[in-house]
Amino acid sequence: MKCEICSKKAMNEYCKLHERAKENIIGKYNLWKTALNISWKEYLNEITKNPYTGSSAKELAEHLKQGEQEH
Amino acid sequence: MEKHTLIIAEKPSAAQRLAEALDHEGKPEEIREKGVPYFVAHCRGKRLVVAPALGHLYTVVQTQGRRNYYPVFDFKWAPRHVAERGAKRIRIWTELLSKLAQDADHFIGACDYDLEGSLIGYCILKYVCGNKEATARRMKFSTLMKSELEKSYQKLLPRLDFALIEAGKTRHEVDWLYGMNLSRALTLAAERWSGRYATLSTGRVQGPTLRFLARRESAIRCFVPTPYWGIKATFEKYGCAYEAKYARQKIEKRIEADTVVKKCRGKIGEIEKIGVKNLRQKPPIPFDLGKLQTEAYRLFRYKPRRTARVAERLYLKTLISYPRTSSQRLPSIINYRRILKGLSKKLVYGRLASELLKKEKLKPMEGKKEDSSHPAVYPTGNLPARALSESEKKIWDLVVRRFMAVFGESAIVQSTRVCIGVNGYHFYLRGRRVMKEGWMHFYIPYTRTEELLLPSLKEGEKIKLTNITRKDKFTKPPPRYNPSTLLNKMEDEGIGTKTTRADIIETLYNRGYIADERVRATDLGITVSETLQEHCPEVVSVKLTRELEEKMEFVKSGNEKRENVLIDTVTQLRPLLEEFKRKEETIGRTLSDAIRNAQVQERVIGSCSSCSSGQLIILHSRKTGKRFIGCSNYFKGLCRASFPLPQRGTAKPLGRDCKSCRWPLMQIRMRGKRTWRLCFNPECSSKEEGRKRVEMRNL
């Protein structure tokens, strides 16, 4: 199976790095929600433009945003 | 013909110093044969021939067979010119040493007194001089000063330091077994899958080092920041503004931060409490190599390897003691007063050295680490005979000032914390003041003494709050290692030695596993590390490396046999490599992909400004085969952006922008010519200047 983002070897939908980024993104949402009272979509937008967000986390956030739009 | 004593030094400059020190007139004869120098000195009627090595002349090699299989556990020691392609010169060196040995009746090893130095001397005495290691004697010294060398020659050690030699041999052999087998396994796995050769390497220390760099990189890449808020308040007293921080460093909700700002704005503060503490700061400890490298990086941004090289040159110029030491101690035998008296002759150190010389007793501050071979790095007290280079000046000054600082008294720094209450909320104003300079006085300009002076304040006093603002902040990803913090990490983890750590870091750069000064593990580095972690985790485990280091220390102290360590190594490696071989196809595929991606990445210059969707990349014309810079959409016919490139030499992105036009620069390297930078923007103003210069020259 290949990672949906970078086409590297993956166990499920993402490679190791993007899987870890996904865990971080999901894990941090509650903190953002408490701090700023924002929706999931707004949160993804915020972390995409944040300079401290790591490159893999940004790629995943973009991918999730696209997924949301398609739905 | 009269027989001579053959003294083996580690390198030509050390041989010259030795010969000058031992010759009764201080003027030894320098002879060169086929470009290899050696020195003839006369001492008490005896003819001494001081011949240099060129670092290691012998190395570990595979006993027989080709280079396309693994595991290989049979090895022998052989001259480097047999084992390495680029070491032809070593042959001339060994031939000369062998010739000089034939006319010698006494042999003395005088290489640096450490693991590597002892091994270099041993290999020459054993293999080149014809088994003279058993009868040879040893000179032991920590500086190349005449007095110390003379003393060392008078009091020769009766035999070579065989425990050190055994430890040195063990280290080289264990490293060879790990490095050669694992590197070959990686390289062959990738080659067999893709059919293309690319050097991949790992080793006993390289593996774990790359592992924690890759882990850090993956933590940075996957990092998601969280917001928090701080509050900055500015108070005014006697017409001056002072910045204070809110009692809580981190406020997790923006609404809470806004509330504090709203409730405090326009209010008057009251000083509720003033806390004053006097902190005693002990003098620093003397430099071992690692600490010197860390400090040189902090102050001058010198990479560890550069510092080691500069320190080595200063040692050869007899300005500092032997730098490859892990000791943080300065024994009194080095004679502190003599050194300070020597330094006092230099104007800039005169006053400081005199102050220390006035002390009745000189006792240095010392660290915990000891090294049986050498003391910590210290200045010899000699002054430079010739002008030093800029980097030599800096490192020498640093060593001198550090040496003086370790004899200084503790500094006393007063720390003040003023608690200001505003409408029920608390803010802290902090001050810092040096009350007694102590050792800092000797270590200027390298001390970090930022003073924050506060006005005189009293408890209960009112203070005006002039401004209060909310500060939006985010948690930051873990910092990248720099060459200095990476070196410290390796030291803390107990992997590698003081002499090898800097070289290991350099190898990781050369292999393309890491890049940039703020160390970034590349995709290739991460893949190699992950592959090793997945298929042979023991190789990248710090535990295994540390255990091996400990065993080698036991060999050094004579509590363990070299043979046992080697048997353990082979026992650990054999199943690992067999397992690796079984999974070679999977591993090869992953590594080949990573290599191919890395090669593509090497060609990427930046994003294309013409179409905004593609990337500028080094391409080759399908018709002519000529290379040029073009958009990644060029061959799809979507973007026609293209720029010419020189057709000879190698061209790669430099990773920096042109100062004139901000376009990315290319680095062009041609054989036999100086490497140059190219801005490929045809409109760049720097080109116009160049054109004008050429025109002017033609006129």
Q: Which of B282, B245, B271 is nearest to B461 (CA)?
A: B271
Quote the mean pLDDT of chain A. 91
CB pairs under 8 A between A and B: 63
Tell me the sheet residues that pair with B665: B679
CA distances from B650 to B626, B646, B658, B673 (A): 13, 9, 19, 12
Ramachandran quadrant class, B325 (left: phi over 0; alpha: psi -120 to 50; beta: rest): beta
One domain for residues B145 and B242: no
From the CB of residue B385, how many other CB atoms can be counted at a distance below 10 Å? 9
One domain for residues B39 and B8: yes
One domain for residues B397 and B459: no
What are the strands of the beta sheet with B604-607, ordered from one edge?
A: B604-607, B615-620, B627-631, B642-644
Mean pLDDT over A52-67 rounds to: 93
- Asked if residue B511 is part of any domain, the answer here is no
Q: Which residue of A has its CA nearest to B479?
A: A52
**Cβ within 8 Å of A, B 316-375:** none
- Position B68 confidence tier, pLDDT thresholds 50, 70, 90: confident
The beta-carbon neighbor of A35 closest among B252, B476, B530 is B252
- Asked if residue A2 is part of any domain, the answer here is no
- List of chain A residues whose C-beta atoms are within 8 Å of the C-beta of residue B225: 28, 47, 50, 52-53
- Asked if residue B354 is part of any domain, the answer here is yes
Distance of alpha carbon A25 from alpha carbon A33, whole angstroms: 12
Query: Residue type for B404, please?
Result: M
- List of chain B residues whose C-beta atoms are within 8 Å of the C-beta of residue A57: 221-224
The beta-carbon neighbor of A56 closest among B221, B227, B254 is B221
Domain count for chain A, please give it: 1
Q: What angle do CA B11, B291, B351 make, to 5 degrees?
A: 90
- Residue B668, SS3? strand
The beta-carbon neighbor of A52 closest among B223, B253, B590 is B223
Do β-strands B520-521 and B604-607 pair in parallel, antiparallel, or remain unpaired? unpaired
Q: Which of A17, A20, A3, A12 is nearest to B530 (CA)?
A: A17
Distance of alpha carbon B641 from alpha carbon B468, whole angstroms: 52
- List of chain B residues whose C-beta atoms are within 8 Å of the C-beta of residue A34: 252-253
One domain for residues B17 and B97: yes
**pLDDT one-digit tens code per residue, B384-404:** 999 999 999 999 999 999 999
pLDDT at A69 over 80: no
Between chains, do A35 and B477 touch, taking CB under 8 Å as contact? no
The percentage of chain B sitting over the pLDDT mark of 70, rounded to a whole number, equals 100
From the CB of residue B458, how many other CB atoms can be counted at a distance below 10 Å? 7
pLDDT at B690 over 80: no
pLDDT at A71 over 60: no
The per-residue pLDDT for B425 is 94
- Asked if residue B515 is part of any domain, the answer here is no
Distance of alpha carbon B308 from alpha carbon B290, whole angstroms: 9
Q: Which of B11, B135, B126, B114 is nearest to B77 (CA)?
A: B126
Residue B336 known to be catalytic: no
Structure-model confidence comparison of residues B356 and B690, the more confident one:
B356
Helix intervals (H) in B222-269: 254-264
Measure in Å the smallest separation between the Cα of A41 and chain B Cα atoms.
Answer: 15
The per-residue pLDDT for B74 is 93
- List of chain A residues whose C-beta atoms are within 8 Å of the C-beta of residue B530: 16
One domain for residues B152 and B174: no
Last residue of a domain, one of B551, B576, B595: B595
The beta-carbon neighbor of A54 closest among B223, B254, B526 is B223
Distance of alpha carbon B441 from alpha carbon B62, whole angstroms: 56
Tokens for B65, please give them. 């067979």
One domain for residues B153 and B258: no
- List of chain B residues whose C-beta atoms are within 8 Å of the C-beta of residue A25: 224
- Asked if residue B415 is part of any domain, the answer here is yes
Last residue of a domain, one of B474, B491, B508: B474
Measure in Å the smallest separation between the Cα of B503 and chain A Cα atoms.
Answer: 29
One domain for residues B312 and B430: no
- List of chain A residues whose C-beta atoms are within 8 Å of the C-beta of residue B478: none
- Asked if residue B257 is part of any domain, the answer here is yes
Domain count for chain B, please give it: 5
- Asked if residue A8 is part of any domain, the answer here is no
- Do B643 and B665 touch, CB atoms closer than 8 A? no
Q: Which residue of A has its CA nearest to B586?
A: A9
Measure in Å the smallest separation between the Cα of B80 and chain A Cα atoms.
Answer: 41
B451-458: list long-range contacts, CB under 8 Å, 24+ apart.
Answer: B454/B242, B454/B416, B454/B418, B454/B429, B455/B237, B455/B238, B455/B240, B455/B242, B457/B237, B457/B271, B457/B274, B457/B418, B458/B271, B458/B274
- Do B585 and B193 touch, CB atoms closer than 8 A? yes
ipTM of the predicted assembly exceeds 0.90: yes
Distance of alpha carbon B247 from alpha carbon B198, whole angstroms: 57
The per-residue pLDDT for B414 is 93
The beta-carbon neighbor of B477 closest among A20, A47, A54 is A54
Between chains, do B222 and A57 touch, taking CB under 8 Å as contact? yes
- List of chain B residues whose C-beta atoms are within 8 Å of the C-beta of residue A47: 224-225
Query: Residue type for B250, please?
Result: K
- Position B301 confidence tier, pLDDT thresholds 50, 70, 90: very high
Measure in Å the smallest separation between the Cα of B220 and chain A Cα atoms.
Answer: 6
Distance of alpha carbon B23 from alpha carbon B16, whole angstroms: 10
Q: Which residue of B has its CA nearest to A7?
A: B593
Between chains, do B475 and A16 touch, taking CB under 8 Å as contact? no
The per-residue pLDDT for B1 is 63
Tokens for B540, please give them. 């990248």
- Do B406 and B376 touch, CB atoms closer than 8 A? no
- List of chain B residues whose C-beta atoms are within 8 Å of the C-beta of residue A62: none
- Position B62 confidence tier, pLDDT thresholds 50, 70, 90: very high
List of residues 6+ apart from B393 with CB closer than 8 A: none
Helix intervals (H) in B414-500: 440-443, 483-493
One domain for residues B575 and B557: yes
Between chains, do B220 and A54 touch, taking CB under 8 Å as contact? yes
The beta-carbon neighbor of B253 closest among A35, A47, A56 is A35
Measure in Å the smallest separation between the Cα of B190 and chain A Cα atoms.
Answer: 16
pLDDT at B145 over 80: yes
- List of chain B residues whose C-beta atoms are within 8 Å of the C-beta of residue A48: none
- Position B182 confidence tier, pLDDT thresholds 50, 70, 90: very high
CA B164 to chain centroid, in Å, comes to: 24
Q: Which residue of B has its CA nearest to A51?
A: B225
**Cα torsion B506, B510, B514, B516: sign:** positive
Distance of alpha carbon B281 from alpha carbon B411, whole angstroms: 5
Which residues in B129-160 are b (16+ Cβ under 10 Å) and which e?
beebbeebbbbbbbbbbbebbeebbeebeeeb
- Asked if residue B303 is part of any domain, the answer here is yes
One domain for residues B103 and B215: no
CA atoms within 13 A on the CB side of B134: 2
pLDDT at B612 over 80: no
Measure in Å the smallest separation between the Cα of A55 and chain B Cα atoms.
Answer: 5
Distance of alpha carbon A64 from alpha carbon A57, whole angstroms: 10
From the CB of residue B167, how many other CB atoms can be counted at a distance below 10 Å? 25
pLDDT at B505 over 70: yes
- Do B325 and B371 touch, CB atoms closer than 8 A? yes
Between chains, do B222 and A24 touch, taking CB under 8 Å as contact? yes
Q: Does A57 touch chain B (CB under 8 A)?
A: yes
Q: Which residue of B has its CA nearest to A35?
A: B253
Mean pLDDT over B25-50 rounds to: 93
Q: Given B58, B153, B228, B322, which residue is catalytic?
A: B322
Domain that holds residue B384: 289-401
**Which run of H or E residues covers position B431?**
strand B425-436
Structure-model confidence comparison of residues B301 and B86, the more confident one:
B301
Q: Does A41 touch chain B (CB under 8 A)?
A: no
- Asked if residue A5 is part of any domain, the answer here is no
Domain that holds residue A66: 16-70
- Asked if residue B491 is part of any domain, the answer here is no
Mean pLDDT over B274-279 rounds to: 94
Measure in Å the smallest separation between the Cα of B530 and chain A Cα atoms.
Answer: 10
Between chains, do B225 and A55 touch, taking CB under 8 Å as contact? no
One domain for residues B145 and B29: yes
* Overall residue count recorded for chain B in this entry: 699
**pLDDT one-digit tens code per residue, B78-123:** 999 988 888 888 999 999 999 999 999 999 999 999 888 999 999 9
Q: Does A36 touch chain B (CB under 8 A)?
A: yes
Whole-angstrom distance between the N-terminal and C-terminal Cα of chain A?
A: 23
One domain for residues B319 and B377: yes
Burial classification of residue B403, based on how many CB atoms lie within 10 Å of its CB (0-12 exposed, 13-18 middle, 19 or more buried): buried
Q: Return the residue in A38, A56, A59, A64 with the most chain B beta carbons within 10 A, the one to mutate for interface testing.
A: A56
pLDDT at B498 over 90: no
- Asked if residue A65 is part of any domain, the answer here is yes
- Do A36 and B227 touch, CB atoms closer than 8 A? yes
**pLDDT one-digit tens code per residue, B149-178:** 999 999 999 999 999 999 999 999 999 999
Between chains, do B221 and A52 touch, taking CB under 8 Å as contact? no
Distance of alpha carbon B117 from alpha carbon B94, whole angstroms: 17
Mean pLDDT over B120-132 rounds to: 95
Measure in Å the smallest separation between the Cα of B637 and chain A Cα atoms.
Answer: 25
Structure-model confidence comparison of residues B440 and B500, the more confident one:
B440
- Asked if residue B680 is part of any domain, the answer here is yes
Distance of alpha carbon B98 from alpha carbon B181, whole angstroms: 33
pTM, two decimal places: 0.82
Between chains, do B477 and A47 touch, taking CB under 8 Å as contact? no
> Which DSSP category does B126 fall into?
I
Q: Which of B474, B497, B477, B472 is nearest to B487 (CA)?
A: B497
Q: What is the DSSP string of B331-344?
A: -GGG-HHHHHHHHH
Q: Return the residue in B216, B218, B223, B471 with the most chain A beta carbons within 10 A, the one to mutate for interface testing.
A: B223
**pLDDT one-digit tens code per residue, B206-258:** 999 999 999 999 999 999 999 999 999 999 988 889 999 999 989 999 999 99
CATH number at residue B121: 3.40.50.140
Q: Does B235 touch chain A (CB under 8 A)?
A: no
Burial classification of residue B647, based on how many CB atoms lie within 10 Å of its CB (0-12 exposed, 13-18 middle, 19 or more buried): exposed
The per-residue pLDDT for A40 is 94
One domain for residues B43 and B153: yes
